Amino acid sequence: MAELLFLSHRVPYPPDKGEKIRAWHILKYLLGSHDVHLGCLADDAADLRQLDELRHLCASVGCFRVSPPLQKARALVRMRSGRPLTLDVFHNGALKHWVAQTLGGRPISRIFVFSSAMAGYVQGYHDCPRILDMVDIDSEKWRAYAPYHRWPMRALYAREADTLLALERQLVREFDSTLFVSEAEATKFLTLAPESENRIGWIDNGVDLDWWNAQPSGDAASQNCRHNCYWAGAGHQGFYSALRCRSGPASHRTRNPEQDLRGNGNGSTSGHNPGGIRRLTSHAGTGFARCEGPRRDCSLYY
């Protein structure tokens, strides 16, 4: 089979967080037609325990441990005019070396990059088609965060929004194709970068209808649907912004986030920081009945 390089900013297995679920399903699909060389970063020691499963599936795996606080500190120290911090937050010298070795030593015919944060690893490589899954417009997330913070974070987030948008526009020009999570997100990007027309597309996140159709009525899955809202939140920053903002990519998935999430106190959420989520939902005045820790399988709720 043809060989493909797949880069992800997180270990894409198990699919227990929003940022992993999409990456995992795309990777699993590509494994059906390619020998995949997976390069990724691990910001949680627990992720390293999943590598045996990925090594069994992939032709090779280059996974490198990073410390988010240290990565962020280094990015701040290395801050340069016009360069988004995101690139340095996700830069890792060992992964860069692994990518160079893989591209130089294997007949890679395609490159798939999951998240604009990882594009820098192959930005200067032009020997085969490169596809970038930007998923969301990350620059718009930072723009949404900024108004709800005080200086200096407000200024830092606004700077990141501007510099990251410039990078996103550049990447769309350089990569052979760029994908987004939905038609709405792609359309929004076109308003920010009109020159991107005919260079972008989208792949919606789907629902496993076969799984749902196999569930008998009245089981646990059906009972869980009684919650008026279930939010599988991977991190509280975006979660809080979605509660507060009424426009932009962080909240366009609900008609009116504040109204929908305040509800009648019969909502449920899960994430890797349940304590932080509880504090945020209490502060924002939402009425989630349950705030759980990470779930290995969120399918009961979608």
Percent helix / strand / coil, the chain, rounded to 5: 50, 20, 35
In sequence order, which residues have a C-beta less than 8 Å from that of residue 195 and are 6 or more positions away? Answer: 169, 173
User: Looking at the 3D structure of the chain, how many domains does it have?
Assistant: 2
**Peptide bond just before 84 cis, omega within 30 deg:** no
Confidence of residue 269 (pLDDT cuts 50, 70, 90): low
Average pLDDT, integer, range 195-201: 95
Q: For the whole model, what pTM was predicted? A: 0.79
Last residue of a domain, one of 202, 230, 252: 202
pLDDT digits (tens, 9 = 90+) for 245-257: 433 444 344 444 4
> pLDDT tens, 132-166?
999 999 999 999 999 999 999 999 999 999 999 99
- Residues of the chain with pLDDT > 90, as a percent, come to 64
The DSSP symbol for 122 reads G
> What average pLDDT does this structure show over 214-235?
54
Residues 119-129, mean pLDDT to the nearest whole number = 95
Q: What are phi and psi of 178, to 5 degrees?
A: -130, 135
**Tokens (6 digits) for 100:** 């160079």
Residues 192 and 260 in one domain: no
% of the chain beyond a pLDDT of 70: 70
101 lies in the same domain as 161: yes
Residue 255: its pLDDT value, please? 41
**Distance from C-alpha of 165 to C-alpha of 192, rounded to nearest angstrom:** 8
Residues 40 and 91 in one domain: yes
pLDDT for 47-94, tens place per residue?
A: 999 899 999 999 999 999 999 999 999 999 999 999 999 999 999 999
Query: Could you tell me if 8 and 151 lie in one domain?
Result: yes
Looking at the structure, tell me whether residues 148 and 217 fall in a common domain. Answer: no
Q: What is the CATH number of the domain that holds 11?
A: 3.40.50.11720
Q: Is the pLDDT of residue 28 over 50?
A: yes
> Taken in order 82, 191, 111, 64, is the CA torsion positive or negative?
positive
Full residue range of the structural domain in which residue 288 is found = 211-292
Same domain, 99 and 149: yes
- Specify the DSSP element, H or E, that contains 232: strand 229-232
> Which among 136, 170, 202 is the end of a domain?
202
Residue 18 confidence (pLDDT): 80
Q: Would you state the pLDDT for residue 217?
A: 60
Q: CA 122, CA 130: separation in Å to the nearest integer?
A: 9
